């Protein structure tokens, strides 16, 4: 299982939001590039970059940071936020992203999303499913749908998508532990997907539990930035 640090970008700075709320943000002083270099030196191979400005504006807004990190490291970056059209996907690709991280459009505009997958290939997408009570929420978690998580995953598999990130919204930013029962049920139903866990990860024991379940990756944010998962552990884990 890969540890995938999350860089949430707002006004060019690293931040963390509590349950996606822009009014509940914590700002960190670290430089995105310097931290990316440090993570790469610790054995990390992949980075989850979330363009919060882009998510609000509808177009990528932190491409300069993406391009800088991509040019100066060998990290595989999945980039999300503001990806609403093929031109925006091309911008992100040209700036150095290896994967497109998408969410709402895959739920609400499936015909359009299918065209994206056909053009770029299903292997270029990390589809994010944000859930409350196993139903999908969209638009930065502000709107709850009646779309079942399992029906959504089934649809993504029909498009050839195998990399899926699932976030239990109630746990995000709370350091309350990941949704282990949910992930276990997902993997029992879809044993062939590459499941990336997100939300609630608080310490090393959570990562070990997710590894035991068979998750392919774990996105960590607050737990890393607040020292709950020390960088030294990344070095050990990257060798497992």
Domains of the chain, start order: 2-237 (3.20.20.70)
Query: Mean pLDDT, to the nearest integer, of 204-211?
Result: 93
Distances (CA, A) of 190 to 109, 110, 147, 159, 230: 23, 20, 17, 14, 32
Q: What is the pLDDT of residues 161-185, one digit of tens each?
A: 999 999 988 776 666 789 999 999 9
Contact yes or no for 177/202 (Cβ under 8 A)? yes
State residue 59's pLDDT score.
92
Q: What is the pLDDT of residues 82-124, one digit of tens each?
A: 999 999 999 999 999 999 999 989 999 999 999 999 999 999 9
State residue 236's pLDDT score.
57
Contact yes or no for 158/194 (Cβ under 8 A)? no
Element (H, E) at 150: helix 149-158
List the catalytic residues: 8, 130
Q: What is the pLDDT of residues 110-167, one digit of tens each?
A: 999 999 999 999 999 999 999 988 999 987 667 788 999 999 999 999 999 999 999 9
Q: What is the pLDDT of residues 13-35, one digit of tens each?
A: 998 876 666 767 788 888 999 99
pLDDT band at 240 (very low <50, low <70, confident <90, very high): very low
Nearest to 78 by CA among 102, 48, 105: 48
Bridge pairing between strands 217-220 and 99-102:
unpaired
Higher pLDDT pick, 236 / 186: 186
State residue 80's pLDDT score.
95
Predicted structure pTM score: 0.91
């Amino acid at each position: 299982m890969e540890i995938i640090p999350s860089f949430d970008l707002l006004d060019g700075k690293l931040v963390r939001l509590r349950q996606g709320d822009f009014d509940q943000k914590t700002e960190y002083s670290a430089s995105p590039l310097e931290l990316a270099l440090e993570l790469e030196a610790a054995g990390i191979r992949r980075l989850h970059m979330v363009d919060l400005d882009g998510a609000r504006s509808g177009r990528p807004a932190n491409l300069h940071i993406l391009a800088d990190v991509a040019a100066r490291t060998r990290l595989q970056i999945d980039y999300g936020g503001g990806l609403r059209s093929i031109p925006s996907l091309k911008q992100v690709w040209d700036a150095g992203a290896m994967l497109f991280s998408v969410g709402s459009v895959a739920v609400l505009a499936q015909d359009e999303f299918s065209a994206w997958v056909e053009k770029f290939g299903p292997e270029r997408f990390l589809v994010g499913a944000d859930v409350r009570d196993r139903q999908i929420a969209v638009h930065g978690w502000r709107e709850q749908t009646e779309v079942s998580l399992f029906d959504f995953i089934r649809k993504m598999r029909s498009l050839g998508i195998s990399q899926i990130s699932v976030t239990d919204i109630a746990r995000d930013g709370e350091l309350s532990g990941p949704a282990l029962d949910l992930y276990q049920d997902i993997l029992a139903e879809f044993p062939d997907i590459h499941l990336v866990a997100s939300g609630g990860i608080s310490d090393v024991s959570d990562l070990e539990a997710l590894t035991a379940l068979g998750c392919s990756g774990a996105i960590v944010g607050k737990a890393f930035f607040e020292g709950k998962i020390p960088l030294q552990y990344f070095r050990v884990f990257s060798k497992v």
